[in-house]
Structure 1
Amino acid sequence: MQKFLIAAALVAMTVSAEAADLPAKLVFKKAPVASTTYGWTGLYAGVNAGVAVGGEGRSGLNVLGFGGSFETFNLASLGVVGGGQAGYNYQFGNWVIGAEADIQGAGTENHANCILTCSVPSGAALRQDMTWFGTVRGRVGYASGPILNYFTGGFAYGGIKVSDTERLIGVNAGTFAVEQTRAGFALGSGIEAAVGGNWTAKIEYLYVDLGSINQAFVLGGTPHVIGTEVRESIFRAGVNYRIGGNGSLLALTPAANWTGFYAGGNGGSGIARDATTHTVLSGVTASNNFDLAPRGYNGGLQAGYNWQRGNVVYGLESDIQYSTQETDRSCLFTCTAATSAVYRQKLDWFGTVRARIGYGVGPTLFYATGGLAYGEVKTRVTENITTLGINGTAGFKDVRAGWALGAGVETPLELFDLFKPGQWTVKTEYLYIDLGSASNSYNLTGVQHNLTTEETNHIFRTGVNYQFDAPVTAKY
């Protein structure tokens, strides 16, 4: 028996030496005793950073003088957020419940809106900023060893500034500003995975609703009412340190094998922040600057191939998506019965061809991705300007090309043993897509117009892949 054990050890060492640089093709088995199972119970604390995008809410400015103005638009703020979070998890079986609180600094702002014709005689420059926010939320999720997929929701609060600087009939009317601390709710989802020791990393989406601001004021002797709905989409990544956790177990788990072909489907949501300028060239030029913010759902298919060297994974992926992102909330040029321009924009479909590079930790792949993006954007403006004899609609369909950049987390899919072990994976991903800008000139009833609009999208989606060549998954 002793000779057999020595021979077996020599063979094992030889095989290990030859395979040192190769990724392991692993099908992990459930640990036989609870003490060696990765657990999520306990306190944790960490930091996060990301981007916040407004535009979900409707805004409006009523000027109750000079015949009245009742314009509606999107105050679509954009900027970075960052802060810290702390919480507690409790695990029973594969289920994890807990609570988390976070506080964030925010640099989101919007100061591109110039309406009321934005010309020398008259114009209104509007701005909305979120300076900070925080949440107190519950979390519920499903854990597969060191991987936790979760939903979250609860209380939200934050600081909002809104301002309006105007010139009315050639006179500087001044500036009105209001700052409030608002309260509301937050809903979202994410994925968190162990990265070594007691450290975990997460990627998360939060929808934050801080209610509405409605304020009456007077500028230049003229009564006004401004209203805005504060809705923010937060895309962020973070790291946590689990206090007293058993994360050292992960060091015993080699990186799984990601090499080979894969294909699958995905679904998620998207919101755009499209800077737009509409100019009417008749006598005195009128030119409104504003944001269109198409929002909605996306879904489609993806396929790709991964190569692997040690823990480093690199590859190519292509996807094609159907989109419902659309907006019709903007009505400018006073938006009265006699003078108005109503705008509609829709993202019909888009696709990407991207490189991926990532790092495997146990059964989890953390990756960055970027490359070519393309898609079709439809824009329509319906005008009624009786003083110029304008009454009609102009529409444009542009197939645009640009770029995409993002990051994600991909893990084995092991939900109630419904999927074949080792062949299915699930990913959660954020993509920023810039399709550039398009400028369209047109003529309505003899009056020349120009409409220029950008197309920039923030996509948060979850997908499922089938791995054709090798099992990736791990069971704990």
Structure 2
Amino acid sequence: MKKYLLATALVGLGSAPTIAADLAARPYTKAPALAAVYDWTGFYIGVNAGVGLGRDRLQHDWLNTGSPYSFYTSPQGAFGGAQIGYNWQTASVLGPIVLGVEADIQGGGLSDDRANFSLFGINASYRQKPDWFGTARGRIGIANGPVLSYVTAGYAFGNVKTNATETVAGITTSFATDRTQSGWVVGSGVEAALGGNWTGKIEYLYLNLGNKTDISTLLFATPINTEIRENIFRVGLNYRIGGNTAYAPVVAANWAGFYLGGNFGSGTGRDRSSLSVPAAPVLETFNLAPDGINGGVQAGYNWQAANWVFGLEADIQGSTQKDNKTCILTCTPGLMAAYDATLPWFGTARGRLGYSVGSTLFYATGGLAYGSIKTKINTASFAGLVTQSFEHTKTGWTAGAGIETPFTLLGLLGPNWTTKTEYLYADLGSTSDNFIIGATPVTSTRSVTEHIFRTGINYHFNSPVVAKY
């Protein structure tokens, strides 16, 4: 701005009458144009794709004992859809604030048929499938030039199919619902300009589609209670109509060198589990679904060739993820297995491959995952109450994607700071534990997979992460 005012003043002086006879007239010099400020105001349309994970608690007294089983169906799969929205950008003491509205509709292949129980010659199985959903939300965010960090919330709706079958003495009965349910949604994300009218985003949404109670049409006409909760992880591409569409990053930011930082986020597990009693015979297959908060630190190093960024990163996390709501094996005081499954800590060592669009780094990441898996099983039989405890440290793999951008925190931090938002999928393998209920041998298995969405802050020890526009 100072250079612009000085150039304007010189133009004024050059065009004024000469005030000294011995001074030659100065040639006219056009003032340099002001750099355009990125403006998020305007309509946009776009598409998105991602993965969804349900944590849908189901309670059903399928044996008619007076004590219902409690377990999770965990519909998982890919989905895709489209969105449309409008943004308003305004100034505030915090910087440019962006207010917006957005609606989307998605079709998907989320499903789960893991819950199957076989006890005393009676069999029951359950399947759940959310086949489409949509949202209508408000958005509010803080813009840092061509990067928008936002939170979002509003109305959610979707179609959910639930099926159950029960076989007793060779007679099979069934139950099914197919209905549209509504509720609310909340989430967060980061959107960044790609050049011209295009932007890209990474986003997490939590959908609560309510609770339902149905009287089953199975042999035992006992209530089936369902709670529909969906975790949505997706990336999107938007085309902006109007507003500032002249953005074109000229130089990629400098990402090379060491960095150190911390992160905070949430995680949800989909642990395919089983409990078997060969002597009975009994076989229960179900999901454990520990969820909670994760937090930790990371360190890494980047190499850069033009806009391409190659890196290595390692992190270690503490976690509150827990599932203590699953109860099977009749779940009566006389015979039960009540689970308390946790993931106390985990970590990763990953490669990163990214492309810098101006000062925004879009990257994919993958590598080694490791962590501690704890399983407590409170059992009851004629021998009384006993708690079985098992702990394993396991290794596996992880893959994901994210966006990293400069972070100034209202001007309090310098140009060496960045913030990132990323999604990771981690597979920590399987565990198998043997124990005794009464005098009967029992085997419990657990395959641990995690969906992690987190935000981090990094300090780069090299030159500042800046780019020219």
Q: Secondary structure at 1:256's aligned position in 2?
A: coil
Aligned match of 2:87:
89
The offset of 1:69, in angstroms, is 4.6
Q: Would you say 1:412 and 2:406 are equivalent positions?
A: yes
Could you tell me how far apart the structure 1 residues matched to 2:81 and 2:341 are? 34
Q: State whether structure 2 residue 156 is matched by structure 1 residue 136.
A: no
Structure 2 residue 365 is matched with structure 1 residue 372: no
The partner residue of 1:454 within 426, 447, 451 is 447
Q: Deviations over 1:397-423 (max 9, x none)?
A: 000000010000000002310111x20
CA contact (8 A) 1:61 1:225 kept: yes
Q: Which runs of 5+ in 2 are unaligned?
A: 1-31
SS of corresponding position for 1:63: coil
User: How much has 1:335 moved relative to structure 2?
Assistant: 1.2
Partner of 1:15 in structure 2?
none
Aligned to 1:109: 111
Provide the residue aligned with 2:465 in structure 1: 472
TM-score for the superposition, normalised by structure 2? 0.90
> Which of 305, 312, 320 in structure 1 is aligned with 2:308?
312
**Structure 1, unaligned stretches of length 5 or more?**
1-30
Matched residue, 2:19: none
2:246 is paired with a residue of what secondary structure?
helix
Q: Deviations over 1:385-438 (max 9, x none)?
A: 33xx46422111000000010000000002310111x20000000000000001
| Bigger shift: residues 285-294 or 465-474 | 465-474
Partner deviation per Cα, 1:143-191 (whole Å, 9 max, x = no partner): 01100000000000000111111112x2333210011110100000000
Shift of 1:102: 0.2
Structure 1 Cα separation of the partners of residues 172 and 336 of structure 2: 23
* Alignment check: 8 A CA contact 1:145 1:475 kept: no
Aligned mates of 2:226, 2:441 — CA distance in 1: 32
Quote the Cα distance in structure 2 between the aligned partners of 1:414 and 1:318: 24
SS at match of 1:249: coil
Distance 1:337 1:444, change over 3 A: closer
Rounded Cα–Cα distance in structure 2 between residues aligned with 1:146 and 1:278: 52
- Match of 1:472, as an amino acid? V
In the TM superposition, what whole-angstrom CA distance separates every residue of 1:6-53 from its partner, at most 9, and x where no partner exists? xxxxxxxxxxxxxxxxxxxxxxxxx984x7111100000000001111
Tell me how far apart the structure 1 counterparts of residues 466 and 61 of structure 2 sit (CA, whole Å): 58
Greater length-normalized contact order (CA 8 Å, ≥ 6 residues apart): 1
Pick one of 261, 276, 279 that aligns with 1:279.
276
Cα distance 1:32–1:347, how it changes in 2: closer, same or farther (>3 A)?
Answer: farther
Q: How far apart, CA to CA, are the structure 2 residues paired with 1:113 and 1:335?
A: 15
Spell out, residue by residue over 1:92-124, the C-alpha distance to the aligned partner (whole angstroms, 9 max, x if none).
121100100000002111101012xx1571121
Residues 1:161 and 2:161 are matched in the alignment: yes
Provide the rounded CA distance (Å) in 1 between the counterparts of 2:105 and 2:377: 41
- Change in Cα spacing, 1:326 to 1:475, as seen in structure 2 (3 Å) is farther
The one-letter code of the counterpart of 1:466 is Y
Distance 2:423 2:332 in 1: 40
Counterpart of 2:455 in 1: which secondary structure?
Answer: strand
1:366-445 aligned at under 5 Å gives the runs 366-386=362-382, 389=383, 391-420=385-414, 422-445=415-438
- Secondary structure of the 2:272 match is strand
Q: Which amino acid letter does the alignment assign opposite residue 190 of structure 2?
A: I
TM-score by length of 1: 0.88
The corresponding residue for 2:248 is 250
Structure 2 CA distance for aligned equivalents of residues 199 and 385 of structure 1 = 63
CA contact 1:412–1:474 (8 Å) conserved in 2: no
Question: Looking at CA atoms only, which structure, 1 or 2, has the larger radius of gyration?
Answer: 2
Q: Secondary structure at the match of 2:285?
A: strand
Q: Does the 8 Å CA contact 1:157/1:183 hold for their aligned counterparts?
A: yes
Q: CA deviation at 1:384?
A: 1.2
Secondary structure in 1 matching 2:324: strand
2:404 alignment partner AA: E
Deviation at 1:64, TM superposition (A): 6.8
Deviation of 1:474 (Å)? 5.0
Query: For residues 332-343 of structure 1, what are the structure 2 equivalents within 5 Å?
Result: 332-343=328-339
The letter of the residue matching 2:310 is Y
CA RMSD after TM alignment: 1.6
Compute the displacement of 1:128 (Å). 1.2
Which residue of the partner structure matches residue 78 of structure 1? 76
| Distance in structure 1 (CA, Å) of the matches to 2:255 and 2:195 | 19
Query: Aligned partners of 1:121 and 1:278: how far apart in 2?
Result: 16
How many angstroms apart in 1 are the aligned matches of 2:105 and 2:218?
36
C-alpha distance after superposition, 1:172-227 (max 9, x if no partner)? 3321001111010000000000111110000000000000121002323x222111
Structure 2 distance, partners of 1:120, 1:381, is: 21
Residue 475 to residue 96, structure 1, CA distance change in 2 (3 Å): farther
Determine the C-alpha separation between the residues in 2 that align with 1:127 and 1:295: 21
1:171 aligns with 2:170: yes
Q: Which amino acid aligns with 1:445?
A: G
**1:184–1:208: 8 Å Cα contact kept in structure 2?**
yes
The secondary structure found in structure 2 opposite 1:248 is coil
For 1:96 and 1:463, how far apart are their aligned partners in 2?
22
Distance 1:291 1:475 in 2: 50
> How many corresponding residue pairs?
434
For residues 117-150 of structure 1, the C-alpha deviation after alignment (integer angstroms, 9 at most, x for no partner) is x157112101111010000000000001100000
One-letter code aligned to 2:460 = Q
The equivalent of 1:210 in structure 2 is 209
